[in-house]
Amino acid sequence: MAPSDDGKLSATELARAALATVEELTGYRSEAVTGLEWDGDSWRVTVDALEMARVPDSMDVLGAYEVRLDDHGTLRGYRRVKRFKRSQVRDEED
């Protein structure tokens, strides 16, 4: 899917850009986009990435990364916001 005529990316394209950004910057395998929100200045996309594989896989360590992108998919910032085990139940408020 190509950007719209004004060059802005769709939500799906923004999500794909965030997944690729986390993989490129961290070297970790991105697993899922778990959040997408406009904060008034940029898109904040939350991406979960596998940081440490464990046996059993329920003990894998994942990181949640927040990627900030403009409407055109240009990176404006990123940071890891938390780490957790795959089996850990996460509250939405965390």
pLDDT at 4: 58
- Give the rounded distance of the alpha carbon of 12 from its chain centre: 12
Return phi, psi of residue 77, to 5°.
160, 160
Residue-wise pLDDT tens digits, 33-49: 999 999 999 999 999 99
pLDDT at 89: 74
Domains of the chain are: 11-85 (3.10.450)
Return phi, psi of residue 70, to 5°.
-85, 180
Give start and end residues of each alpha helix (H) in the chain. 11-26
Contact 61, 52 (CB under 8 A): yes
Supply the DSSP symbol for 4.
Answer: P
